[in-house]
Structure 1
Amino acid sequence: MAQTVVITGASAGIGRATARLYGGRRADVVLVARGRAGLDAAAKEIESLGGRALVHEADVADPDQVEAAAAAAEEHFGPVDVWINCAFSSVFAPFEEISPEEYRRATEVTYLGFVNGTRSALKRMLPRDRGTIVQVGSALGERSVPLQSVYCGAKHAINGFTSSLRTELLHRGSGVHVTVAQMPAVNTPQFSWVTSRLSRHPQPVPPIYQPEVAARGVVHAADHPRRKQYYIGATTVATIWANRFFPALLDRYLARTGYDSQQTDQRPPTGDSNLFEPVDAATGTDHGAHGIFDDASHGSSLEAVLARHPAAVASAVASAVGVGVAATARAALSRRGR
């Protein structure tokens, strides 16, 4: 029986790439976003891969619109099995250059959008005692960087909210699962349509991964939701652990390098931003899953592969430890025999 999957932010980027993967599984995919051109293009991709698609325009900052999307999903395809929260918006600028209206809007989409999606999903999943919610997080939800205070704040909030919810589900012995897929820098269109007050074009901090790498991590997290979170990309792991052990040193390093590393040598974008309106509203242009950094992006991640095969990793680590112990023992015996 086909899975029913709801994906917010499905018109572009990670959400779009994830939708394609589920299309290849012949799933029933409900595509939720504001941009109609991207949604329609995503639906065609899913159907060409053998899945079924339902397009639903909605602003995730509005809980009533999210609830309407959830109701449409179940009316059209039946009970929702997986709900993936992926929609976001942001502003690249020093904090003092972001207006209260911009800060509120970005927070309502990027944080409260996840809260609204989770609420509508739980409303349906809890009575059935089954279902999975995946929050598409970020390494920046653990380690903040300059020029992205609103995005980092929202991603931190998602982690806190999800951890609290997880304990509540455990308390009631629920069969509903929630997990977080923490992302590295990803080549999505957001860097060309984000609201920016930088002097140069925004970019993800290298190394950059393609959206398909992120999407494989999201789908794996949905298939195996018992883990609290998944780290996609070696840089995500490195960033999180560095922040735990050397936070003050990382502060100074980012203060020195974080401005230049998030900007290219190109001029800033001249098109419309997607903060208050979808960028395809006027032009009807589909922006796809990829951004403009294809030439600098990786199509695979060793760490993500290892995360999907923990048994093999454990076996390899055990073997390596065994070899190391044996070598150490032989060396000790050799020294004693002299």
Structure 2
Amino acid sequence: MSPAQRPEVVVITGASSGIGRETARAYAHRGARLVLASRSRAALETVAGECRALGARTLVVPTDVSRETEVEALAAAAVAQYGRIDVWVGNAGVFAYGSFEELPAGVFRQVVETNLMGQIHGARAALPYFRRQGKGALVLVGSLYSRVGSPAVSPYVTGKFGLLGFAECLRQELRGSGIRVRIVLPATIDTPIYGHAANVTGRRVRPLPPTAAPARVARAIVRSPGRRRFAAPVGRMQMWVIPVHDLAPGLYDRIASVLMHRVELHGAGPVTLGTVLEPSGAADQTTGGWRSNGLRLLLGGAVAATLAALVAARHR
């Protein structure tokens, strides 16, 4: 088999649920050789079974991406098994809700360690193999929060802002090397991450509508290495906030505060550390159940009413 015909070797971190699980399935459909990583072996084995049923050879490597030695071992295991790495998908991420002053320092640090340093560890582990091969693709999963901020999610925003800057620097340094750097920027995606989040607000959490299907992000990830575009947004309906953020920051701040405190946070809920410090152990579905028609109408109506009230208040 010629090099052009060889199946891709793809490493996916955060592969046990949500976007990572959907991306593993997408690559399995393409016949890729997969290396799946997350903190839970049991969860990974579930996803690996799905991929093998689709005909993909699959290696499971339990990995905490916040620990650099484990990420180095992940890359080494991929090369030992398949001889190379063609695509590294940095997708592992955790979430936390609460004001900066309320969130425990350890939770804040772990969110940043996972969402930013975990991606940096992945790049540092993959690049020597890419250099040796003379090619490779590093696909990083950022967020709309790589471009804008929001109250009550400061560690997540900190990590995602830093990730976009890191990716831009790396792209510039690797020009002409044959190594491609791409970043995917999802808006609100229907995944279990909201249910897994640490939450010290004392209120329940729901994602800001409209939520996009994780399969859309998976398609963007799979396509991104072959495209010239550096950053690929997913969920364009929410991207309207970027020009508002850039051109009218005061208005954006009011909108972000109202949407967080009146739509995303609602009712009374338990204080929890979620899966930030420890994995859940079992594989979760790719979706979080946030796209049911009734719920979408309810949340969409809540957003519309909130924005209308904000506009009315400004006029008064």
Question: What is the TM-score with the length of structure 1 in the denominator?
Answer: 0.82
The equivalent position to 1:250 in structure 2, one of 249, 252, 264, is 252
- Paired position in structure 1 for 2:201: 198
Larger Rg computed on CA atoms? 1
Give me the whole-angstrom Cα distance separating, in 2, the residues matched to 1:36 and 1:233.
31
2:77 to 72, 79, 98: 72
1:140-289 to 2 correspondence within 5 Å?
140-170=145-175, 173-224=176-227, 226-265=228-267, 268=269, 273-280=274-281, 285-289=282-286
In structure 2, do the counterparts of structure 1 residues 270 and 26 end up closer, same or farther at CA, with 3 Å as the change threshold?
Answer: farther
Deviations 1:204-234 (A, max 9, x none): 110111211111111111332x322111111
Alignment correspondent of 1:304: none
1:110 aligns with 2:115: yes
Q: 1:134 is matched with which residue?
A: 139
Q: What code does the residue aligned with 2:186 have?
A: M
- Shift in Å, 1:44: 0.8
CA deviation map 1:239-278 (0-9, x unaligned) = 223222222210122123322221355x536877211110
Distance between the aligned counterparts of 2:259 and 2:206, measured in 1?
13
Counterpart Cα distance in 2 of 1:42 and 1:242: 40
TM-score (norm 2): 0.87
Matched position secondary structure for 2:204: coil
Q: Aligned partners of 1:153, 1:252: CA distance in 2, in Å?
A: 20
| SS in structure 1 of the partner of residue 37 of structure 2 | strand
Question: What's the counterpart of residue 311 of structure 1?
Answer: none
The one-letter code of the counterpart of 1:249 is: L
Matched positions, count: 290
Does structure 2 conserve the Cα–Cα contact (< 8 Å) formed by 1:182 and 1:236? no
Alignment-derived partner of residue 306 in structure 1: none
Inter-partner Cα distance in structure 1 for 2:291 and 2:210: 12
Shift of 1:202: 1.4
The CA RMSD measured in Å over matched residues stands at: 1.7
1:8-19 correspondence runs (5 A): 8-19=13-24
Partner of 1:303: none
Following the alignment from structure 1 to structure 2, what is the Cα–Cα distance between the partners of residues 254 and 190?
Answer: 20
* Structure 2 residue ranges without an equivalent (≥5): 1-5, 297-316
The one of 113, 119, 127 equivalent to 1:122 is 127
Task: Report if the CA contact (8 A) 1:31-1:43 is conserved.
Answer: yes
Q: Within 1, Cα distance between the matches of 2:119 and 2:86?
A: 17
In 2, Cα distance between the equivalents of 1:294 and 1:248?
31
